[in-house]
Structure 1
Amino acid sequence: MLNRFGKFGINIVYMSTLNGKNILVTGATGLVGSHLVETLLEIKGANIVCLVREKNPTSYFYAQKFDEKVTSAYGDLADKERIFNIVTKYEIDYIFHIGAEAIVPTAFINPYETFTSNIMGTVHVLEAARLSPRVKGVIVASSDKAYGKNCHNATEDNPLAGDHPYDVSKSCTDLIALSYFKTYGVPVTVSRFGNIYGPGDLNMNRIIPGIMKSIIAGETLELRSDGTFLRDYVYVKDVVDGYITLAEKIDIAKGEAFNFSSGHNFSVLDLVSKVGSIVGKDVPYSILNTQKNEIPAQSLNFDKAQRMLEW
């Protein structure tokens, strides 16, 4: 499933619904948000509004100068009134809610901030959508970690059972999003992805950027886990395609959650070996085994997305 649609990984055919629409992207300066904005900029007549908490000149968003092509609305997901005002002022039609605290170790250290951003931030976005007469679709980014430890070949019917701050925040995000559909009819859909990688990821806490940094710097890679953790890795362009597919098919997708997966699972040690082989370098590593609150094995079944969305 990696990069299924050629050079850019995007099925450009499915964009007619978003033509000429006002689109809000939260988390626009992050890895996924930046690549989503890059693709949305190709859509005819689309007006893109990006929620930006603070400017990060090193991010892919600013490096590619996307800020010169979109409307940047500065604010924080924790600010309910600000989110409502943005949705109202710019007459938003579609919302891609990508913004969140996405780093598990950071969430462990800062649970309050994580719950505020990930849970209440989602509530604020959904409230703004509920009160808006224009919003036609809300795509909420969740995670395979919403399933907690019940995440081996998980289907959408698996219980949401996060244990630790990041996992719990995503379990709650899922439930809250779908409650807004069931109770108020807000046209919201939920996406669940695994570990995302791709160009412009400068977060060295993530394994693939960490590997590349070690290779470039000639340093020993420090693995926080014991190296055996299994993860589902999915290319960022395929993630973007999943989000856009959900928006294009919102009449089918609303009120539903969907797993998206590459179908490829690797242990951390396998991944280190594969990346080293691709770049033709040995990657020396040391195992710290200090990682806390991580799930040993995660993989997603994406039959539902294939069946309902033809993804």
Structure 2
Amino acid sequence: MSRLPDQRFWSGKRVFLTGHTGFKGTWARLWLSRLGAEVTGYALSPATVPSLHQLAGSTSLAAETIADIRDGTTLAKALDDCNPDIILHMAAQPLVRRSYLEPVDTFDVNVMGTVRLLEAARSLEALKAILVITTDKVYSNDESGRHFVETDRLGGHDPYSGSKAAAEIATATYRDSFFRSKGVHVGTARGGNVLGGGDFSEDRLVPDIVRAAIAGKILDIRSPLATRPWQHVLDCLNGYFLFCEALHSGAVPVESLNFGPSPDEAQIPVGVVASSVQTAMGLGQTWQDTSAADKPREMHALGLDPAEASRCLSWRARLSQADAIDWAARWYDQWRRGEDALSLVTGQIDAFTKGA
């Protein structure tokens, strides 16, 4: 079973978290706060109503700035005020289909937003580690079905994937040009497809299921046979936090790591995930295949090999893909029945860290 974050390490650490109003960012700042970190958030206002950020409240934050990651002046001031030990950069335009509609904005946010952050971070005195979050989609996917390793060629068939691959290159450039000589350790994390309660984003499978259930509609699924490296948000964040610890101490020999389910697990198609979530929520299995409809290209097969994270960090997914699906479905089912969102998040954090 995977190691867990060291509370003694995180207690009192100043963490600058970008994208803290997003789904994954909200889970991150709530868990970091429980570990004793002083979290400063920087992000746009939540993109959806409802949002987990709004449902959970902001009491876990030491400070927050609601602004664009590309606003270099505001960003630099927020960083200076925080004087962080660690930067965890999660702010992004994260949606593949939106990237086809807004390619320039996607590249601007994902590449130049990252560059603005790295540039502003150069003058920070206390900084020891920067972790830039990219995606499993940074690899040049040949649809072979094999699981990508960190040394595979980067690329992107869509603007989102290409922008994240470009952000990897920009991060490596800043690391080699400016941060290495200062003793600041910089890494990139490539996480698989994340499942978890409180994601209300557009064009994502589980939120689409929840919206369809609430509206009493049949769910449309674009690619029911496509496979993805499904993992629970807590498994993914656990990897990020362990990577931050290792970067801070200079104890990790690599600069990019994959985080996803073991390749030994059978890959679960999108349609099976949808049916499993609907069943776990007590819903009828009602979805329809719209894969024949005209739509932008999306990869059919995608897998990651997280062996390097296991070797370097003693990290591996604590939840199977089936358990990740079940945990996410139970969160949404309890929330729509009136349970408090913050209590549901903290309850699952407690269960996860106790090995339940």
TM-score by length of 2: 0.79
- Aligned pairs for 1:51-90 (under 5 A) are 51-54=42-45, 58-67=50-59, 69-90=61-82
Q: Secondary structure at the match of 2:108?
A: helix
Distance 2:281 2:46 in 1: 32
Instruction: Quote the Cα distance in structure 1 between the aligned partners of 2:192 and 2:131.
Output: 17
Q: Compared with structure 1, are the counterparts of its residues 215 and 75 closer, same or farther at alpha carbon in structure 2 (3 Å cutoff)?
A: closer
Moved more, 127-136 or 282-291: 282-291
| Pair 1:55–1:214, CA change in 2 (3 A) | closer
Contact 1:204/1:213, CA 8 A, preserved across alignment: no
d(CA) in 2 for partners of 1:255, 1:120 = 24
C-alpha distance in 1, partners of 2:219/2:46?
Answer: 30
Is there any run of 5+ residues in structure 1 with no aligned partner, and where? 6-10
* Residue-by-residue CA offset, 1:224-249 (whole Å, 9 max, x unaligned): 23x22111111011111111111111
Structure 2 residues without counterparts, runs of 5 or longer? 316-356
Q: How do 1:26-65 residues align onto structure 2 when only pairs under 5 Å count?
A: 26-44=18-36, 46-54=37-45, 58-65=50-57
Cα distance in 2 for partners of 1:252, 1:296 equals 36
Q: How far is the alpha carbon of 1:154 from its aligned partner?
A: 0.3
CA distance in 1: counterparts of 2:199 and 2:100, whole angstroms: 21
Cα offset, 1:255, TM superposition: 5.6
Alignment partner of 2:286 out of 284, 287, 290: 284
Give the TM-score normalised by structure 1: 0.90
Deviation, structure 1 residue 280: 4.2
Consecutive aligned runs of 4 or more in structure 1 exceeding 6 Å deviation: none
Q: Give CA-to-partner distance per residue, 1:253-281, whole Å, 9 cap, x none.
A: 47610000023532111212222333343
8 Å Cα contact 1:32-1:239 kept in structure 2: no
d(CA) in 1 for partners of 2:21, 2:153: 31
Give the RMSD, CA atoms, in angstroms.
Answer: 2.0
Equivalent positions of 1:170-189 (< 5 A) are 170-184=164-178, 185=180, 186-189=184-187
Give the corresponding residue for 1:8.
none
SS of residue matched to 2:268 = strand
Superposition map of 1:248-287 within 5 A: 248-250=245-247, 251-253=250-252, 256-263=255-262, 264=265, 265-287=267-289
* Aligned residue type for 2:172: L
Tell me the equivalent position of 1:228: 225
* Pick aligned residue for 1:191 from 189, 192, 207: 189
* 3-state SS, counterpart of residue 66 of structure 1: coil
CA distance in 2, matches of 1:63, 1:28: 13
Name the CA distance, whole Å, in 1 between partners of 2:8 and 2:253: 18
Partner of 2:149: 155
Counterpart contact for 1:215–1:283, Cα < 8 Å: no
Q: Give the partner amino acid of 1:259.
A: N
The percentage of aligned residue pairs carrying the same residue is 27
